[in-house]
A and B are shown apart, each in its own frame.
Chain A
Amino acid sequence: MKSTRALTLLECAFAAFLFSSILVAIFAAWPTYARAADQNRTRVGGLFLARQEMEYAISQGFAAVAARTRSVTMTATVAGNTLQTPYQCALQVTNLSPDLKALHVQVTWQQSGRSQEVSCDSILAR
């Protein structure tokens, strides 16, 4: 009986140590996951804007397409909090030949103090 009590005490101490260690590890990981989720959200917005900008450029046609830049702010509501992300969209047009123009779309935004971007390229014929 005496040895049984000693074993339970040791067991409790070990369990408490194990449990608190795991909790600390889990709580330390959550901010990383939150940042990853936020990064996903802003990247989806960037991809959407890049597609929109390129389709706009193509729809203008060879004669009318022209370089432009614009700022777009996207608003998302996450768990009751309103999050705003400002994006910069840039469309560059380069003459490859008298009959071809290169289109380059770049969408940039800030994420945790770091600049992020998505880009895509296409060509428009006369």
Chain B
Amino acid sequence: MAKGSRGLVLFTVLVVAALLALMTLTVAVHSMNSLQRDHQVQGRLQADFAAQAGLQVALSQLRTSTLSGDLPQTALTGGRSSYAVTVLSNASGAVAVTAPDGTSVPPGAVYLMALGEGEGRHQQRISALALRPGSGGFDALAADSDILMRDNVQVDAWDPSLGAYGPATLSNFTLGSNIVSRDGIRVRDSALLRGDLQVGSGGSISNVVKISGSGTVTGSTSVATASFSVPHHTAPLPVGATDVILSGSTQTLGPGSYRRLRLSGSSQVMLSSGTYVFESLQMQDTSQLVALGAVTVYLTRGVLMDGDAQINPSGLGSNFKLYSTSSSPVSLRMNGRSRAWVTAEGDHLSLAPYDDAEFFGAFVGAGIDAWDRGKIHYDKSLRSGTVSASSSTAPWELRAIRYR
């Protein structure tokens, strides 16, 4: 054996063993990290719902006039999570005040910051404004807590008394909001708003509105003199047990309660005049949901439209009322080249047209999140539609809910 070969076997074995050990160590570390991450997710989950609990307790105390200050750290039923709420009241103030996180608190409002804590001391902060909804006064295209327009989105209004939607029938309008949180209204990229814009009562335009890139608002921006109310709808019937799932066929439904509505291919569902309750709507391809008369649809969950799907293709938005009954965030999501002609309303409902989708009608809900070439065309004939008026004795409601 040559002198230089001495130790080669041992060296090779050590290298191979080291590689194997390294591989094993990598897998072990990965497993441990995954386990740790899952426990973090569990802690955040508990903290999230604990913070929501804090807001609900504060809201309840506001409604019964028993909220006298901050809520101390309180354990929830299971003992694994807790909440505490910081309260900044401007209920009897005359001018807006600023919360520690920069949120403008308008006169008549109460700022709430809930801190939830779960296992592993994971924390979640949620802020909100509690207020008594004031009178309306907005066009019925309005968002309560968030407006995001990006890419080549276009939002405009047309006057149906002048004809079908088109350049000749465009009309000025005001996109209303209750938004007072920092950067709560964002117009980015090449997004275009053909109309005026209102930030929430007591808000600061420079604080709330962020226009960047080539984003454009053609009209003026102002501060609303009062908040508006987005009613919480309750379905007249519980969700039914029957699914309506069609692929390439046609069916006529009568008023009543159903579960899921799933349409694909060239399916067509005709709705006779009346009130309907669905859990969710999902439409694809060239499917259509046709209103044969005045239809009111209550939805416990969201809407997903794709392809060339259409809701109420007759184009008469007042004939198709879509009320969300959800108490957690849901969306009317439109993808592809889908079209909808509806009056949509819901205190947790967001309007989200993407791709080349187009929404025609009125919308009063939690938020607007449009991107790509999504378009929203407000039907001014629905002006007197959906925004609710209320008085100073209206119950307290949570607005501008933000995860921190």
Report if A11-B7 is in contact (Cβ < 8 Å); known contacts: A37-B31, A123-B76.
Answer: yes
* Interchain CB contact under 8 A, A36 and B53: no
Q: Chain B, 73-109, contact with A by CB distance < 8 Å: what is the 0/1 string?
A: 0001110110000000000000000000000000000
Residues of B within 8 A of A29 (CB): 24, 28
What mask results when residues 44 to 72 of chain A are scored 1 for a CB within 8 Å of chain B, else 0?
Answer: 10010011001100111101100000000
B300 within 8 A of partner (CB): yes
Contact assessment for A36 and B34 in the assembled complex, using a CB-CB cutoff below 8 Å: yes
Please name all residues of chain A whose beta carbon is closer than 8 Å to the beta carbon of B16 when the two chains form the complex: 19
Q: Are A104 and B77 in contact (CB under 8 A)?
A: yes
Q: Which residues of B contact A18 (CB under 8 A)?
A: 13-14, 17
Given contacts A26-B21, A61-B234, whether A54 and B49 have CB atoms under 8 Å apart is yes
The interface bits of chain B over 1-38 (1 if a CB of A lies within 8 angstroms of the residue's CB, else 0) are 10100110110011011001100100110011011001
Tell me if B6 and A100 are in contact (CB < 8 A): no
Do the beta carbons of A47 and B42 come within 8 Å of each other? yes
A-B CB contacts (within 8 Å), total count? 134
CA distance A55 to B327 in the complex (A): 8
Contact A33 B20 (CB under 8 A): no
Complex contacts, B24 vs chain A, CB 8 Å: 26, 29-30
A-contact 0/1 string along B315-331, CB 8 Å cutoff: 00000000001111000
Interface residues of B (CB under 8 A from A): 1, 3, 6-7, 9-10, 13-14, 16-17, 20-21, 24, 27-28, 31-32, 34-35, 38, 41-42, 45-46, 49-50, 52-53, 56-57, 59-60, 63-64, 76-78, 80-81, 118, 232, 234, 238, 300-301, 325-328
Chain A residues closer than 8 Å to B118, beta-carbon distance: 120
The CA of A124 and the CA of B55, in the complex, are separated in Å by: 9
5 smallest CB-CB distances across A and B, nearest first, come from A121-B76, A123-B53, A122-B49, A125-B60, A36-B31
- Which residue on A lies nearest to B23, using beta carbons? A26
A37 to B35, CA, bound (A): 8
In angstroms, Cα B13 to Cα A23, docked, is 11
How many chain A residues touch B (CB < 8 A): the figure is 52
> CA separation between A20 and B20, bound complex, in Å?
12
> Within residues 1 to 60 of chain A, which ones have a CB less than 8 A from any CB in chain B?
4-5, 7-8, 11-12, 14-16, 18-19, 22-23, 26, 29-30, 33, 36-37, 39-40, 43-44, 47, 50-51, 54-55, 58-60
Given contacts A4-B6, A50-B45, contact A121 B234 (CB under 8 A): no
